[in-house]
Chains A and B, each alone.
Chain A
Amino acid sequence: MDMLYYPGCTLKTSAKNLETSAMAIAEKLGYRLVEMEEWNCCGVVASLTSDDLMHHLAPLRNLIHIEDQKQDKVVVLCDMCYNTLKQTDIRVKESQSDLDTLNDFMDKENDYNNTVNIMHFLEFLRDEVGFATLKKKVKKPLKGLKVMPYYGCMLLRPREVAIDDAEDPKIFSDLIKALGAEVVNNPFNIECCGSYRTIDQKELTSRRAKNISSFALEHDADVIMLSCPLCKYNLDVRGKEAESMYDGYRQLPTLYFTQLIALALGLDAESLGLDLNAVDPNPILKKKGVID
């Protein structure tokens, strides 16, 4: 079955392994992620002031092009794209006058008619495929692998866009269990990773990575599972840099949820971009028998 898919800029450059692993697992589950035509950058962060409509143009143009393709549903892999598209969608659903202004401004485009359902790929796996079905397709259960789920911000906040309970999400833990691995819960798993501060405040971001990961390290987690390319960069690269700032600190490897699903479905580890990490996950995956 074909599913329309919005990639966003980062998946085409620094997070190619998120895209390829997602495509591979979708195929294994009987779906095909079909990249939408004529997409542009989502704008990345939602504009929050009431008078700023300009920054809703980029996300809205994407939604228009989804309607142009006669589709009413789109799957998104990047957390920030998901959040931004969804916030714009909510704003124009709640305000007809804002929608009219934006539609009028983009006079070369068709009008947006509020028909698109934006779904994160995680929601798609939980609600359309079903974790029970996914579990049945697991070929190589990740037995003995201790996984800390890390949500970050964009899947859960603001509340209106949350794919799960904003304070006590379960979607990653349920997924980890479906894959046969063990969950290491962490009270810091919905806290911000430092986000774009990674550019202008590197040490601060390293501290965030350490604060988030330390608890998991102390509770013997093997790897961190996450979904956002920016969280991944910050926990992985800035977390690695934290090792030289804090005595005895060791950064845990990070993996996209799609990579762990792919390994459990028995897909070839070579094709999953596991080497695109500052902290190499291969040794622990080998030790735990997840890869050969």
Chain B
Amino acid sequence: MSTESENDCEHPETSKEIKLAGKLVDEVLELCDENVFGCYQCGTCASGCPFVEEMDLTPDEVIRHIILDKKEVLNSKTIWLCSTCFICAERCPRDINITVLMEALRQIVLRLSIDETEITCLSEEEKKNIPQMAFVSLFRKNIG
């Protein structure tokens, strides 16, 4: 299913090529202390994720990409669809915090001065009525 519609804001940078000098797993582990190698690919994280149907990579595939140094994960829609809901982290039988790994991947992109979202799509009414907490969260998560 498509995740974007004419109603939505622009996501200008997901197609930009992202170059990393080192190995992806090393960059990720610089930012968090999660044992990605402990993942046994059970898929529990994916089965509980409320956004999995819209994702191009499931959360368990994201872990695999990190381990296998498949840097295209940084171009995936998945890392930006993740809303930091912590369901996957709560349920992982190997106690891997996938929510934190998603944040690390976003941070790798954002720290290259690549923003993900441009707010182009809101009516005046929405600007007035959407709770501030949504704006601050989105800016914190999608804009470096």
Contacts and interface: CB of A to CB of B under 8 A. Distances in A.
Interface of A: 8-10, 13-15, 41, 43-45, 47-52, 55, 78, 80, 153, 157-159, 166-167, 190-192, 194-204, 208, 211, 229-230, 233, 237
Interface of B: 3-5, 7-9, 11, 30-33, 50-51, 54, 81, 83-87, 89-90, 97, 99-100, 103-104, 107, 117, 119, 121-122, 129-138, 140-142
A48 B84 contact: yes
Contacts of A229: 131, 133
A195 B85 contact: yes
Given A50-B31, A199-B122, A200-B11, A230 B134 contact: yes
A157 B85 contact: yes
B131 A230 contact: yes
B137 A14 contact: no
A198 B107 contact: no
Nearest to B8: A201
Main secondary structure of the interface of A (DSSP, over half): loop
Given A48-B100, A200-B8, A192 B85 contact: yes
Contacts of B132: 9-10, 13-14
A233 B122 CA distance: 15
A271 B107 CA distance: 44
B140 A200 contact: no
A45 B140 contact: yes
17 contacts: A8-B133, A9-B133, A10-B132, A15-B131, A48-B99, A50-B31, A51-B30, A158-B99, A166-B90, A192-B87, A194-B83, A195-B85, A199-B121, A199-B122, A200-B142, A201-B4, A204-B3
A81 to B, nearest CB: 8
A202 B9 CA distance: 9
Given A13-B131, A190-B87, A204-B51, 9 more contacts: A153-B86, A157-B86, A157-B89, A196-B135, A197-B81, A198-B134, A199-B135, A200-B9, A202-B7
Contacts of A197: 81, 83, 138
Contact of A204 (B54, B117, B129, B130): B54
A44 B133 contact: yes
Nearest to B48: A191
Given A14-B132, A48-B103, A49-B32, A196 B86 contact: no
Contacts of A202: 5, 7-8, 121
Nearest to B49: A192
Nearest 5 A-B pairs (CB), nearest first? A157-B86, A192-B85, A196-B137, A200-B9, A48-B103
A78 B133 contact: yes
Nearest to B101: A48
A43 B141 CA distance: 12
A52 B131 CA distance: 25
Nearest to B33: A50
B87 A198 contact: no
Contact of A157 (B31, B87, B103, B130): B87
Nearest to A14: B131
Contacts of B107: 49, 52
A250 to B, nearest CB: 21
Given A55-B140, A195-B83, A230-B133, A158 B7 contact: no
Contacts of A13: 131-132
Nearest to A166: B90
B87 A50 contact: no
Contact of A158 (B9, B31, B89, B103): B89
A167 B46 CA distance: 16
Contacts of B51: 192, 204
A43 B135 CA distance: 11
